[in-house]
Chains A and B, each alone.
Chain A
Amino acid sequence: MSSLDAATDAELVRRCREGDAEAWNALVERFSRYVYAICVKGFRLRAEDAEDVFQDVFTRVYTHLDKLRDDAAVRPWIAQLTRRLCLDSIARGSREQPAPEQDFEETGDDFAEIEEAFAVREAVTTLGEACQEILDRFFAQDQSYRTISAELDLPAGTIASRIARCLRKLREELEGRSEPPGESRE
């Protein structure tokens, strides 16, 4: 884990502005899945269109980062930018190849799910390594209590309780988060 993995969004943005190449890589790494999820899950873009939007988003983030008013608001800014570019991509596609009208209103739930999933993912990174590992093994890798117990060398009867405690910490982290950050000029 690099020191930048633990940096806040605002810290990362500040270092990117200062021309820190490592920070830029970390920023792309942090938001790449998010951008891709909006393209593919939110707007149902084809892989090649999603790739184009992805490139475009990060090019614009790089060239317009100084326009961001609130460094902590980089996530909503990137989300807004991605959505706009997805719509542009769809508009270009429909001009080139008219298709039946798609109902994008129905994707509202998908956006909410994406936001929620990323909020949870971010909150998980604030937990201790032990919690991160046990939650990942149970919820992401679908490992059984016995496997977790054997691999982490923990008593089998304590796994469910440990996971429950970690989930409580996660809930507290999510509930304790402050109100949404401010807007940007972009």
Chain B
Amino acid sequence: MVARGSKEWEEAGGIAAQALALQARAAPLAHADAEAWEDALSALRRAGAGGSDDGGARRDHALERKLERAAVVPLEIAALGADAAALAAVAGERCDGAYRADAAAAAALAAGGARAAAHLVEVNLGVREGDERLAQARASEQAAADAADRLLTSIR
């Protein structure tokens, strides 16, 4: 909306196209996140109910894989949030002034999404401190927050 409304901005179409591409990536990830979490939760319940029979090791492995997937999807969402915030920041800097506040709102929302997703990576039982995925999630969260802050500060 911000890019399309900025008629004088020559590269607005290119920014709008990128926004659409990010949107197309986000929808399936949101769905996959819910599915991965449900799977991991079911696996955790099964593991909690099971004894130490021969199937224990197999169950642990299956649980590990489910937790792994439950961490990977929010990691991708965090990266997507960082991209959306960066794109909103570019739009906010170059767009028609009438839309700058909307771009800032979009950046803040994207930063919120990145933060929530990074938190989901952090609390995942399969992810421990020092894990590369955690570092990536936090980097995405930070990048999104920085982009949103810069834009919000510039319009206040």
A residues within 8 Å of B by Cβ? 138-139, 142, 144-146, 156-157, 159-161, 163-168, 171
Contact = CB atoms under 8 A, between A and B. Distances in A.
The number of chain B residues touching the other chain, given as a range, is 10 to 19
Interface in B99-133: none
B104 to A, nearest CB: 16
B86 interface: yes
A83 B140 CA distance: 48
Nearest to B10: A168
A174 B44 CA distance: 54
B121 to A, nearest CB: 15
B71 interface: no
B13 A171 contact: yes
A146 B86 CA distance: 10
Q: Which 7 residue pairs across A and B have the least CB separation, nearest first?
A: A164-B14, A167-B14, A164-B11, A144-B79, A160-B90, A160-B87, A145-B83
B139 interface: yes
Given A156-B143, A160-B90, A168 B21 contact: no
A138 B90 CA distance: 16
A144 B11 contact: no
A159 B13 CA distance: 15
A146, A165, A171, most chain B CB atoms within 10 A: A146
